[in-house]
Amino acid sequence: MKKSIIIWLSGISLLTGIHQLHAQYPSGDEVMDRMDQNMSAKTRVLTSKMVIHGPRSSRTIESKTWAEGDQKSYSEYLSPPREAGTKMLKLENSLWIYSPSTDRTIQISGHMLRQSVMGSDLSYEDMMDDATYKDHYDAVVIDEETLRDVKCWIVELNANSEDVTYQIRKIWMDKKKYIPLKEELYAKSGKLLKKTELFDFKRVGNRWFPGRMIFKDMLKTGDGTEFLIESIEFDVDIPEHIFTKASLR
């Protein structure tokens, strides 16, 4: 009898220890909400460079982007000459591209969304990703880890529907600033498909925002695609005509 009581008490102690350990973690929704408060904005205007590091050489593409929330964005490519004048418009779930070389506007849809954007590690599906995690994923803090000398929560997001590009995501979130330092994107099978790392965070108004991001398609060769923010403004007025198909011509 005594032995049974000891085993029973040991089990209770173990369960209590496990409960206390997980009680120290914030909820996944809380972490994601705090990230959104830091990084989301009503509008954004930014200029950037996309450096595509191929297996043999690298090339740089400059662009300017206007965005309203997560549903509207308009980008114009400025250089090099081969890409200059190309324009891209996203309106909710639709994406159009204007090419000056053909003087045509085409809608990107279906299997075309899986194609690479100008040879980069980003697909058109990635460009369409509105990052509304709460609408499509269940978030749980599964662990903590120090990444680049920063203490982070590791948040795992599992899709609650099939209508997403990536079924599983993992985010390394700075515990103090609630900014993401790394994200891994997985297939339903658990295979790692893509990885993003964020660097050089700067204070912009009341937000922390990365100055450099590296995207890596784990199924491609090369050293990934580097995204450099040259300038960024938040919550500025953007003329409504910017987000129309007429702006593409």
Could you read off the pLDDT of 88-123 as tens digits, one per residue?
A: 999 988 999 999 999 999 999 988 988 999 889 999
Across the chain, mean pLDDT equals 88
pTM for the whole thing? 0.85
Strand (E) positions, the chain?
Answer: 43-53, 58-68, 72-79, 87-91, 94-99, 104-108, 137-147, 150-159, 168-174, 180-186, 192-204, 207-217, 224-234
Cβ count within 10 A of residue 18: 10
pLDDT of the residue at 93: 84
Whether 44 contacts 65, CB under 8 Å: yes
3-class SS of residue 169: strand
Say what percent of the chain tops pLDDT 70.
90
pLDDT of the residue at 132: 65
| Per-residue pLDDT at 233 exceeds 90 | yes
Assign domain 28-69+116-240 to a CATH class.
mainly beta
Q: What is the CA radius of gyration of the chain?
A: 22
Residue 10: pLDDT band by 50, 70, 90 thresholds?
Answer: very low
Question: In this predicted model, which residue has the larger pLDDT, 43 or 128?
Answer: 43
Surface-to-core class of residue 228, CB atoms within 10 Å of its CB (0-12 exposed, 13-18 middle, 19+ buried): middle
Mean pLDDT value across residues 135-144: 92
Residue 7: DSSP 8-state: H
Question: In this predicted model, which residue has the larger pLDDT, 16 or 243?
Answer: 243
Least confident piece of the model among 3-17, 110-124, 207-221, 222-236: 3-17
Cβ count within 10 A of residue 88: 20
Say what percent of the chain tops pLDDT 90.
69
pLDDT of the residue at 11: 47
The runs of H, that is alpha helices, within the chain are 2-23, 28-39, 124-128, 133-136
Whether 121 contacts 194, CB under 8 Å: yes
Surface-to-core class of residue 112, CB atoms within 10 Å of its CB (0-12 exposed, 13-18 middle, 19+ buried): middle
- Alpha-carbon gap, residue 23 to 169, rounded angstroms: 22
Question: In this predicted model, which residue has the larger pLDDT, 247 or 163?
Answer: 247
Cβ count within 10 A of residue 197: 20
3-class SS of residue 238: coil
- Alpha-carbon gap, residue 115 to 24, rounded angstroms: 42
- Alpha-carbon gap, residue 183 to 169, rounded angstroms: 7
Task: Dump pLDDT digits (tens) for 160-218.
Answer: 988 888 999 999 999 999 999 999 999 999 999 999 999 999 998 888 999 999 999 99
